[in-house]
Chains A and B, each alone.
Chain A
Amino acid sequence: MMWELISANRRRSLGLFVGMAALLCGLGYTIGAVVHPNGGGIIGLIFAGGLWMVLASMSIFGGGSLVLRFSHAKEVSPDIHPRLHNIVEEMKIAAGLEKMPKVYIIDERAPNAFATGLSPDDSAVVVTAGLLSRLSRDELQGVIGHEVSHIMNRDMQFMTLASIMLGTIVILSEVFLRGMWLSGGGSSRRYRSGQGGGGTQPAMIVLAIVLAILGPVFARLLYLAISRRREYLADACSARLTRYPAGLADALEKISSENIPLHAASQATAPMFISSPLREKKGGGISSWGNTHPPIGKRIAILRAMTQGAGLGAYERAFADTEGEKGLIPSASLKKAETVALREPTADDAPTSPADQERSVLDLMRAVNGFAFLVCTCGMRIKVPPDFEGDSVECPRCHRKNEVPRAKESDVSDAATVMAAAMGVTQAGGVAGTRSAAGATTGRRDQVLEYKRRGTGWESFSCACGNLLQLSPAFRGSQLQCHKCNRITRII
């Protein structure tokens, strides 16, 4: 059913896409015909198509990573936030994706999330630090389910191509209208006088102007309508994947109650976020036609109305009850109506006090940015910036000198045996022997580094190459490899 929905979605998208393409071609042709009556139409058509292709290929080769760079998102390892990684993996399994999406965090307080990537095999889920600190496990799962649904339904692929189509239409009509305005009636007079009787037909000019004025408006409305529809669909899929619509509803409630602006968002990236990061017009009817997202209150109401089950059919019924219209989900995929049972909630464990939330946001931001965490004897937690070079820091509270933790050379010189012991592998004597001989000749590089953990909280130490390595409270491994010099440090 999930899969049937995806194929139905793809067919529908193709239809809309063809409609937009026809609009673009028509615009290109009429403009060409006005500018040059003899054969100009074809040239205009080719020009419009070419412009779209150039813009589209530009966004395909670098679109995804560009968005990530614009929003200052940082890719994080599972150590930084184990729960986030777990939940993304849960949703990846539920959606049957072949590859795990990459996980990024933006260090901003505004709670929001988005997904990006042009194919399900090369995708990313991005959340803000503010979102992570406010939501409980179930709520976060709902949000990630929504984002993974976007990936599964190939929404980014489609929305990117559609938005470029829209952009091309806007550019073409703008250039044409400006050209007409600047030259006034002159251009038509020139053609008329220059070519005798074979001038541009007035009807064609009128048609071109009408298309140039109305085309962008229609294309924009079409684009926004698709965007809103896809949001509803992602909500429906999220409920289906998590089997717990209340989680997403609670999350949306929390997100909508915050009023913190998101700096990373722009007009172009707005449709990707779970809730619009821009100020949207409230209320229904015509005033909401210009929004990228459906009103958040309605989304919550629909999710809350799903009391019977978590399937797509249940969402469609709830949608029909709340919205008063039908047909969100293609009926072909609703025929084999399945019942998906709702899941029990996991106990709420979100930090409730604003102080706790604030602290966890700050910790997360620092961990993401490569800060080191030092706990002084007096209990003060000192955060050392990643470019700190000295050997010790003075505690701001008790003025004790604290050594900046660094991995130390181990007494055991034979790297191979240490590693084998650490991994619980008994190696054949011969192999270990040759390894240690090689270690002796290459010298220091095979020397094993050691770092002794101080506690169980956030900790970090610098590798011999100076790169800072993080240990999260969840770290339980016996060794850690530096991302820069690839040396391995034993954690004891």
Chain B
Amino acid sequence: MGGLIFLGLLVLAVIFFIGLYNSLVRLRNRVKNAWSQIDVQLKRRHDLIPNLVETAKGYMKHERETFTAITDARSRAMGADNVGARGKAEGQLSGALSKFMLVVENYPELKANQNFLALQEELTSTENKISFARQSYNDQVLFYNNKIEMFPSNIIAGMFNFDVEEFFEIEDPTEKVAPKVSFE
């Protein structure tokens, strides 16, 4: 009888630990997923830029520097081979785009172009999505790291090498500010 109870308790304990392990895996996947979401949105921004430049070029003949800054930053971001260089290039791209959006205000004809307005909405939304994806990534990391440090899941985390994930810190201060799209 005593053995039977012991066996029952053992089975329960095993089921409990399997559950804990699975929830840790689920959380780690959420973190990964949130990270890839940032990537998806950054890539979307890269895809938008050629269209945007193409549409605006005809109207903005005297803004060659702005366009070069944008396209240069884009190609640098796409060609970067390490995370640091890429982060820097993406930061410069954000800066160049926000400058572009300020300059646009001087071209009322461009702002009457439906195609451009649609692109502008896409750009605003993509910038939002990038910042929301970062925010969500940090939320997930916080939750995951807490789980790893708290009892009893810390036992499982230690046994199966679940490591603490790093937060997404923004290094470049200019990158913090999303380009402000204004219609005044």
Mark A residues whose CB is within 8 Å of B.
1-4, 82-83, 86-87, 89-91, 93-96, 98, 137, 241, 243, 336, 338, 344, 346-349, 456-457, 473-474, 476
Contact = CB atoms under 8 A, between A and B. Distances in A.
Given A93-B132, A137-B124, A476-B115, A349 B139 contact: no
Contacts of A347: 180-184
Contacts of A2: 139, 143
Closest 9 CB pairs of A and B: A474-B118, A86-B125, A94-B132, A347-B182, A456-B114, A3-B143, A473-B114, A96-B136, A93-B132
Contacts of B41: 93
Interface residues of B, number: 33
A330 to B, nearest CB: 15
Interface string B13-25: 0000000000000
A165 B145 CA distance: 38
Interface in B137-184: 139-140, 142-143, 146, 177-178, 180-184
B68 interface: no
Given A3-B143, A347-B180, A347-B181, A93 B136 contact: yes
B182 A473 contact: no
Nearest to B125: A86
B121 A96 contact: no
B9 interface: no
Contacts of B182: 347
A93 B129 contact: yes
Q: Which of B122, B125, B180 has the most CB of A within 10 A?
A: B125
Majority SS at the chain B contact face: helix
B113 interface: yes
B135 interface: yes
Given A456-B113, A476-B118, A94 B135 contact: yes
A4 B139 CA distance: 10
Contacts of A87: 125
A90 B121 contact: no
A368 B135 CA distance: 34
Interface string B104-137: 0000000001110110011011001100110110
B51 interface: yes
Contacts of A83: 121, 125
Nearest to A2: B139
B23 to A, nearest CB: 11
Contacts of A3: 139-140, 143
5 contacts: A90-B128, A93-B129, A98-B33, A456-B115, A457-B114
A95 B135 CA distance: 9
Given A349-B183, A473-B117, A93 B133 contact: yes
B66 interface: no
B71 interface: no
Contacts of A456: 113-115
A89 B115 CA distance: 21
A476 to B, nearest CB: 7
Nearest to B138: A338
Given A3-B143, A456-B114, A456-B115, A346 B124 contact: yes
A83 B132 CA distance: 16
Contacts of A346: 124, 180-181
Contacts of A243: 135
Given A90-B128, A94-B132, A349-B183, 13 more contacts: A86-B121, A86-B128, A89-B125, A90-B129, A93-B129, A241-B132, A243-B135, A344-B177, A346-B124, A456-B114, A456-B115, A457-B114, A474-B114
A82 B139 CA distance: 28
B122 A86 contact: yes
B34 interface: yes
B118 A473 contact: yes
Contacts of B124: 137, 346
B88 interface: no
Contacts of B117: 473
Nearest to A4: B143
Nearest to A473: B114
A82 B117 CA distance: 11
A82 B114 contact: no
B46 interface: no
B122 A82 contact: yes
A2 B113 CA distance: 41
A348 B183 CA distance: 8
B34 A96 contact: yes
B30 A96 contact: yes
A456 B119 CA distance: 13
Contacts of A98: 33
Contacts of B129: 89-90, 93
Contact of A1 (B33, B34, B132, B142): B142
A149 to B, nearest CB: 14
Nearest to A3: B143
A1 B125 contact: no
A93 B37 contact: yes
A344 B180 contact: yes
A95 B136 CA distance: 7
Q: Which of A83, A93, A347 has the most CB of B within 10 A?
A: A93
Contacts of A241: 132
B164 to A, nearest CB: 15
Contacts of B132: 90-91, 93-94, 241
A93 B177 CA distance: 19
A1 B181 contact: no
Given A89-B129, A456-B115, A474 B51 contact: no
B153 to A, nearest CB: 13
Contacts of A349: 183
Contact of B140 (A96, A338, A348): A96
B159 to A, nearest CB: 23
B77 to A, nearest CB: 20
Contacts of B30: 96
A1 B140 CA distance: 9
